[in-house]
Structure 1
Amino acid sequence: MIDRLEKEVDMLERHLKVLRMVIESEPIGIVKMSNETGYPHHKVRYSLRVLEEENLIEPSSQGAITTERTEEFISELDEKIEETIDTLQSMKLDEASEVEG
């Protein structure tokens, strides 16, 4: 169960790194992103597809570019991450046993 969570967090981290590269260097292509991040082409391509499905980027003839939705997503990201951290903290069993004990 935890292994799946770790894999999801790793994938989310990769997606966000790819998004950050698009924001900072748009337009940018798969080869350059792969070379700069060290991620294989297929993983960069998958992250780009996910980001495109979320309407955070779109393809152009020169490479990936941001969309109107990107800025809104970025402005909400820290809050969403903090909410997730709080949820994960509340799930810790050692804290629950301390409260009961």
Structure 2
Amino acid sequence: MIDRLEKEVDMLERHLQVLKMVIENEPIGIVKMSNETGYPHHKVRYSLRVLEEENLISPSNQGAITTDRTEEFVSELDEKLSEITNKLDSMKIGEKAEAEN
């Protein structure tokens, strides 16, 4: 169960790293992203597809570019991640048991 969560977090981290590269270097292609991140082409391609499905990037002849939705997503990201972190913190069992003793 936790292994799946960890894999999802790793994948989210990759998606966000790819998005950050698009924001900072648009337009940017798969080969350059793969070379700079060390991720294989197929993983970068998958992240780009996910980001495109979320309407956060758009393909162009020169490479991936941001969309109108990107800025809104980025501005909400830190707050959403903090909410998730708080929720995960509240799920800790061992720490609560130690605090109660």
Q: TM (normalized to structure 1)?
A: 0.96
Matched pairs, number: 101
Match of 1:70 in 2: 70
Report the Cα offset of residue 95 of structure 1: 3.2
Shift of 1:94: 1.7
- Extract unaligned runs of 5+ from structure 1: none
Among all aligned residue pairs of Structure 1 and Structure 2, give the percentage whose two residues are the same amino acid.
Answer: 80
Offset at residue 19 of structure 1 (A): 0.1
Segments of 5+ residues of structure 2 without an aligned counterpart are: none
**Counterpart-to-counterpart distance in 2, 1:98 and 1:69:** 44
* Offset from partner CA, 1:13-72 (integer Å, 9 cap, x none): 000000000000000000000000000000000000000000000000000000000000
Determine the structure 2 residue equivalent to 1:3. 3
Give the CA RMSD over aligned residues.
Answer: 1.0
Q: Following the alignment from structure 2 to structure 1, what is the Cα–Cα distance between the partners of residues 68 and 79?
A: 20
3-state SS of 1:11 partner: helix
Which residue is equivalent to 1:41?
41
* Residues in 2 aligned to 1:49 and 1:40: alpha-carbon distance in whole angstroms: 14
62-71 or 87-96: bigger deviation: 87-96
Distance of 1:76 and 1:32 partners within structure 2: 28
In the alignment, is residue 31 of structure 1 matched against residue 31 of structure 2?
Answer: yes
